[in-house]
């Protein structure tokens, strides 16, 4: 594993996400992609990825929001981290921020079943960490958590449930980490 390249991705993400924070918290945003990468790393070898593929997935997870949420271009990602990383980041991103929230989420869900397994792991890492963060917030503030989502608990439930179904489409058996996502969805949205 090329730890220097992973370190470069962490440094790059830290710089471009500077000043950004996690939803409704003072926590630096960069903690999200780094934590997401830590979550999936142990599962990648079991999934049969080569060392080089694992490296690209980890780096892409660290960088998964830089094209969507900063001024970073796809060309810059390709030049710094290679074509595969650029493609995975692009695949994990919502390209058209002019669309409504629901249109963007629907478009993302619709493309996931055809995604490569590598891209599914990048997306899974992002969503899994989001769910863990939501669960922590729900434990702290209860149903007030939905205020940071404009009160739309139902839309969040639709989105995460639909994303899970899209991610596991065609998988048999369903890998443990994907099942972990389902457990978190069930726990957060239980009535």
Write the Ramachandran bin of 187: left for phi over 0, alpha for psi from -120 to 50, otherwise beta. Answer: alpha
Backbone angles phi, psi at 98, to 5 degrees: -80, -15
Q: Decide if 188 contacts 137 (C-beta within 8 A).
A: no
Task: Specify whether 75 is catalytic.
Answer: no
Contact criterion met (CB below 8 Å) for 6 and 55 = yes
Active-site entry in 68, 76, 94, 180: 68
> pLDDT tens digits for 13-35?
999 999 888 877 788 999 999 99
Q: Is 69 in the active site?
A: yes
Residue 160 pLDDT: 96
* Among 190, 174, 82, 177, residue whose Cα is nearest residue 134: 190
Specify the pTM.
0.94
pLDDT given for residue 151 in this prediction: 57
Q: Which of 53, 69, 76, 94 is catalytic?
A: 69
The DSSP-derived string for 147-169 is GGGTT-HHHHHHHHHHHHHHHHT
Q: What are the tens digits of pLDDT across the range 79-126?
A: 999 999 999 999 999 878 889 889 999 999 999 999 999 999 999 999
Strands (E), the chain: none
**What residue ranges define each of the domains in the chain, with the CATH number in brackets?**
3-189 (1.10.3210.10)
């Amino acid at each position: 594993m090329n730890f220097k390249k992973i370190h470069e991705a962490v440094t790059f993400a830290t710089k471009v996400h500077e000043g950004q924070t996690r939803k409704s918290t003072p926590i630096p945003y960069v903690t999200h992609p780094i934590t997401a990468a830590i979550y999936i790393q142990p599962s990648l070898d079991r999934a049969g990825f080569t060392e080089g593929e694992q490296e690209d997935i980890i780096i892409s997870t660290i960088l998964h929001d830089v094209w969507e949420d900063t001024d970073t271009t796809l060309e810059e990602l390709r030049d710094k981290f290679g074509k595969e990383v650029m493609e995975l980041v692009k695949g994990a991103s919502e390209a058209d921020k002019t669309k409504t929230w629901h249109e963007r989420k629907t478009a993302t869900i619709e493309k996931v079943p055809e995604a490569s397994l590598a891209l599914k792991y990048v997306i899974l890492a992002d969503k899994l960490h989001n769910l863990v963060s939501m669960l922590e917030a729900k434990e702290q503030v209860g149903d007030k958590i939905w205020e940071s989502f404009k009160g739309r608990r139902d839309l969040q439930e639709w989105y995460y449930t639909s994303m899970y179904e899209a991610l596991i489409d065609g998988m048999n058996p369903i890998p443990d980490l994907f099942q972990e996502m389902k457990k978190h969805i069930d726990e957060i949205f239980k009535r």
